[in-house]
Structure 1
Amino acid sequence: MSTSTKAPVIGTHNGHFHADEALAVYLLRLLPTYQQSSLIRTRDPEVLGTCDVVVDVGAVHDHGVLRYDHHQREFDTAFPGRKTKLSSAGLVWMYHGRSIVSVVTGLEEGSADCELLFQKLYDDFIEAFDANDNGISVYDSKELRQAGFEKKFSDRGYSIASVVNRYNHAPSNSTTANGAKESSQHEEDSRFLRASAFVGEQFHLELTDKATNWLPARSLIASAFNNRTQYDNGGRILVIPQQPDGGAPWGDHLYTLEKENGCEGQVLYVLFAENGEEGSKWRIRAVSVSGDSFENRKGLPEAWRGVRDEELSKVSGVEGGVFVHASGFIGGNKTFEGALEMARKAVET
């Protein structure tokens, strides 16, 4: 006699779909409980009532009965410490995110590192899904217009959410044995699953990168930050020790460390080796005003920009020059000593 039990059924709405429920379904299926779950897409209350967990439909937010809708008039739930109203993606993450981090990374649920990634993934990835689905912009467009700001180009709202929307109109990959199109609902479900796989891959890449690169770099960057006055009395130059596999993600950690130490905006340049090999060239990178900005706190000197090799060495007065980008955000030298001398000159220029 078989002792197998039927896998729980996930429910969501049919019709036009959005990024938040596409991600919510993917997130649930990362959990062992729902890895083999089937999906029903409908707005029929009776059918939804037969589902074990329902996202983005049903007008109920109740974790106790696994109902995760956010369209109710009275709904105003936000992630702890944030103001953005949750979507179905944020709801699933809020209640199941720690378990998902543990499953994907192997970190013990309840550990400090698991908690840190749980918070980080919301801040850097999932909150954007919540904001988009609830019509919340990064900036108030009315205030931008009143301040006289104009777009330099039209991005057509390009985002993961806009890419997901394309799947609503994409050709179906599904055909019957004789080549005829399946039912319209079957085609729609097929497009939804493709969209869910797409956002899921982006999520998986984000979490994996944070777990394998960002998280291990925390202590390294903290140590470099504490040693920065060794290279510049004003603490304006951060040197990342050469790593066997090249560089380490430093930007996010640097902004956090500055804020925690009350010296925001202090570090102007970061030095790091191009690779982990002996004799590696070194890079000097101007620190951006913020993590999502192309504006630098202080770009490399104007006279160096767009100049290479011997000409750069002559203009900068530092031997071993390799290049400085035309925008002044990054440059290179053949040695660490040369890169450090360039940085020291740059901070005083």
Structure 2
Amino acid sequence: MAAAKRFKMSPLTIGTHNGHFHADEALAVYMLRLLPTYHSSQLIRTRDPTLLQTCHTVVDVGGEYEPSTNRYDHHQRTFNTTFPNRPTKLSSAGLVYLHFGKAIIAQHLNVSEDAAEVTVIWEKVYESFIEALDAHDNGISAYDPKAIAAAELKKNFSDGGFTLGAMVGRLNPNWNDPTPSDLVEAQKVEDEKFLVASTRIGEEFSRDLDYYTKAWLPARGIVHNAYAKRLEHDKSGRILVFEGQSVPWKDHLYTLEEKEGGDAKVLYVLYPEKPTLDAKWRIQAVPVSKDSFESRKPLPEAWRGFRDEKLDEITGVDGGVFVHAAGFIGGNKNFDGAKKMALKALDL
């Protein structure tokens, strides 16, 4: 009886490999520990099959993917699992998110896993955060290397130190760091570094989740409403207006346009700088894609870099505040002025 009681009170264990650690298993462990089942779990980092067999859940090691027994490795030759409707082969982070992501999101939103918004966030966070880690761990490039070579494209600078994978990689022990001669102590030091990495990348995941649940999702209805009213400002629907305040709009706009189809695209977005009656207004050119610096239609070149009265003189619109030298954004003292600037820019 006493033995059975000790067994029930024994902490649940998560197993992963020791040695050099990576972003995927660091995040996988963090995500699991967000859930009540794993909140007080112990971590065993080893490649010893006998020890791994004792673990409740194993990620990124063991050569087995079997959800029924909580085994989530992706290194098998036959492994080819992907997230629904995405092409990238999963890593241990993707596998844990595939099976536990909805529970994490539902807990964050305090709703049922069946709630429609859970699926929306589940898909969005995978595409915006998890997929890049899956690709990094599986050696998948963001662009087709052959196509890049054929086009003779070269990087203008190195961005290797600014990825999540590289950030975790830097937290590994250096080759010449002092190492305890005692193997148990050496493993303890390595495990402590892993936990730092797991917490660090986990914080980034939690910030992303927080953004999509608390800011991005509530903005969706506002963008949909503004999109439905766009013909009130321009008969071709090329101007989008946020009447109260600006919200995260790019993702939602692109989704709406894709769903509607056709060639008509929004070119300028107007919004007040703050939610007050005396606020100045901004006019922003819509980028060709979410992460692009190139605009679909930048503000006219002749306006760029000018301010105040000189800008009024050039545009023929009173109340001008500025137009950025790159032409992606400008401002006016009021909504009417911003709208007149947008309408003029459409024809230039």
TM range (shorter): over 0.9
Residues 125 and 209, structure 2, Cα contact 8 Å, conserved in 1: yes
- Give the corresponding residue for 1:213: 215
Residues 286 and 299, structure 1, Cα contact 8 Å, conserved in 2: yes
- Deviation of 1:311 after TM superposition, in Å, equals 1.3
- Give the corresponding residue for 1:201: 203
- Deviation of 1:305 after TM superposition, in Å, equals 1.0
- Give the corresponding residue for 2:133: 129
- Deviation of 1:170 after TM superposition, in Å, equals 6.3
- Give the corresponding residue for 1:315: 314
- Give the corresponding residue for 1:151: 155
Q: Which residues of 2 match residues 12-91 of structure 1 at below 5 A?
A: 12-91=16-95
Q: Give me the whole-angstrom Cα distance separating, in 2, the residues matched to 1:264 and 1:19.
A: 40
- Give the corresponding residue for 2:225: 223
Q: Give me the whole-angstrom Cα distance separating, in 2, the residues matched to 1:98 and 1:6.
A: 27
Residues 7 and 33, structure 1, Cα contact 8 Å, conserved in 2: no
Q: Give me the whole-angstrom Cα distance separating, in 2, the residues matched to 1:200 and 1:343.
A: 42
Q: Which stretch has the larger CA shift, 124-133 or 99-108?
A: 99-108
Q: Give me the whole-angstrom Cα distance separating, in 2, the residues matched to 1:293 and 1:200.
A: 27
1:58-114 C-alpha deviation (Å, 9 max, x unpaired):
000000000000000010111111111000000001111110101122132110001
Structure 2 portions without partners, runs of 5+: none
Distance 1:115 1:231, change over 3 A: same
Residues 53 and 65, structure 1, Cα contact 8 Å, conserved in 2: yes
1:178-222 C-alpha deviation (Å, 9 max, x unpaired):
xxxx92211211111111111111111111111111111111111
1:24-81 C-alpha deviation (Å, 9 max, x unpaired):
0000000100000011100000011111000000000000000000000010111111
Structure 1 runs (4+) greater than 4 angstroms displaced: 1-4
What is the identity percentage for the equivalent residue pairs of Structure 1 and Structure 2? 53
Q: Give me the whole-angstrom Cα distance separating, in 1, the residues matched to 2:146 and 2:162.
A: 20
Q: Secondary structure of the residue that 2:270 maps to in structure 1?
A: strand
- Give the corresponding residue for 1:162: 166
- Give the corresponding residue for 1:258: 257
Q: Give me the whole-angstrom Cα distance separating, in 2, the residues matched to 1:170 and 1:250.
A: 43
- Give the corresponding residue for 1:179: none
Residues 279 and 334, structure 2, Cα contact 8 Å, conserved in 1: yes
Residues 28 and 34, structure 1, Cα contact 8 Å, conserved in 2: yes
Residues 59 and 71, structure 1, Cα contact 8 Å, conserved in 2: yes
Residues 221 and 253, structure 1, Cα contact 8 Å, conserved in 2: yes
Q: Secondary structure of the residue that 1:54 maps to in structure 2?
A: strand
Q: Give me the whole-angstrom Cα distance separating, in 2, the residues matched to 1:118 and 1:273.
A: 31
Match of 2:110 among 84, 106, 121: 106
Q: Which stretch has the larger CA shift, 304-313 or 53-62?
A: 304-313
Q: Give me the whole-angstrom Cα distance separating, in 2, the residues matched to 1:315 and 1:84.
A: 50
Q: Give me the whole-angstrom Cα distance separating, in 1, the residues matched to 2:305 and 2:109.
A: 42
Q: Give me the whole-angstrom Cα distance separating, in 2, the residues matched to 1:34 and 1:165.
A: 25
AA matched with 1:183: E
Residues 170 and 191, structure 1, Cα contact 8 Å, conserved in 2: no
Aligned length: 343
- Give the corresponding residue for 1:186: 188
Residues 161 and 167, structure 2, Cα contact 8 Å, conserved in 1: no
Residues 117 and 211, structure 1, Cα contact 8 Å, conserved in 2: yes
- Say whether residues 1:325 and 2:324 are aligned partners: yes
- Deviation of 1:157 after TM superposition, in Å, equals 5.9
Q: Secondary structure of the residue that 1:124 maps to in structure 2?
A: helix
Residues 237 and 264, structure 2, Cα contact 8 Å, conserved in 1: no
1:136-172 C-alpha deviation (Å, 9 max, x unpaired):
111012211111222222223631111110001369x
Q: Give me the whole-angstrom Cα distance separating, in 1, the residues matched to 2:70 and 2:306.
A: 60
- Deviation of 1:264 after TM superposition, in Å, equals 5.4
Residues 30 and 103, structure 1, Cα contact 8 Å, conserved in 2: no
Structure 1 portions without partners, runs of 5+: 177-181
